[in-house]
Structure 1
Amino acid sequence: MIALHLIGIGTGNPDHLTGEAVGALNAADLILVPRKENAGDLADLRHAICAAVLARPVPIAEFDMPVRAGEGDYVQAVQDWHDAIATAWRAAIAAHLPGGGSVALLVWGDPSLYDSTLRIAARLPDISVRVVPGITSIQALTAAHAIPLNALAGAVTITTGRLLRRQGWPDGADTLVVMLDGGCAFETLDPVGLAIWWGAYLGMPQQALDHGPLAEAGPRIAARRAALRARHGWIMDVTLLRKESR
């Protein structure tokens, strides 16, 4: 029997791991680390986290992360991609832990929030799943800027860059958190009356922050984001947008 532990690791800082997460990693029989094309730093970060918190030797196995098709129907492409990832997980586990045991996967942020790890794990019905929650990028963003997530007595809407581009500002939303934004979806909005708080590589040495009225800060953020992505080869960022008080 395989017990799969999905461990939230925050945004890459070992200090973001909870005590429960550290315990789960140390109790594992195997830690799986995905390696993405042109994003070797992400695998290296997972190795660095393990080196920082492991109190005993735990085997670590890398596997090649399948690449999602960039053309055709988006939802079908994602479904096919998830199937391929589940197959890669099964192959890696069979190769490195044929007798069964406890397997740990390190998940950015939290496995329950705009992350498909649980959907992928559901494709392996013979494997039991345990989730160890972690600090989300939203928490890391609001902490870095020292701001509350919501306006006074206000609601918060969490969405994606893809949806923001397609649908615009959601009706009734005062505060908007934008995740999984491959570009700068805020550029599609009328900036009048909107403020932005942005963060990339949150909690890491290369952390980058900016905020201000969207009309002023938006162009700065777009330019800085492009420069950072070119420098590091990858970027993980999150944005909070809020209607300014009148």
Structure 2
Amino acid sequence: MATALITGASSGLGEEFAWQLASAGRDVVLVARSKDRLSEMAQLLAGATNVAVEVLVADLSTQEGTAAVAARIADKDRPIDLLVNNAGYALKAGFLETDVADEVAALDVMVRAVLVLSHAAAGAMSSRGRGAILNVSSIAGWLGNGTYAAHKAWVTSFTEGLASQLKGTGVSATAVLPGLTHTEFHERAELGDYDELPEFAWLEAEDVVSAALAAVRRRQVLVTPSVRYGALAGIVKVLPRTWVRAAAGRNRV
């Protein structure tokens, strides 16, 4: 039975990944900080889909938490066939107002953990000659508007380089770059300005996850799960960076 490990699995896109993968018959390993929420999810998933569900409580902002997840990925007796690096969040203030410790913790979750876990997965999977790594990036990575965007720009660039280095190993690397998506993300970060945006600007978590998993099956490196956001990304890439920064600077994410 194929097994997927999903970080940030307790809510949002991570929860949707867990449901879609379990519904497709994959065993899943759920990783997040909240033991109660993960245990509740595990019961629901196992009961509804009849797959094996494992809970791994870990804080990816710490070296100990990341090391525990990396060790699970590298376990030869319980192979992971798909790693979904999904954990991430936005801070509640701009760079000049945040505590540097909060900035470093966010960097650890969205950059360091992605690197460490991808390294563990790439090694274990390439030794078996099969597997896939899926990194959740963001269309924000094409913008110049804060540390979250910078982290996601790194994820996109890292995934492209990783995909090139994995050629011939039987292992693929994919980054999904969604735009605004209906999850708890913006509410938790207290990004109230986004509530004023029209409905057509928003994507549904189900559609984002479906597009991401389809891209993994195609071994596609980058996927933007929306025609309109794909077009926006194309436009942003050719616009003068001064224009992009001016437009993006109105929002923190």
State the TM-score, normalized to the length of structure 2.
0.36
The structure number with the bigger radius of gyration is: 1
State the TM-score, normalized to the length of structure 1.
0.36
Relative contact order, CA 8 A, sep 6+: which one is greater? 1
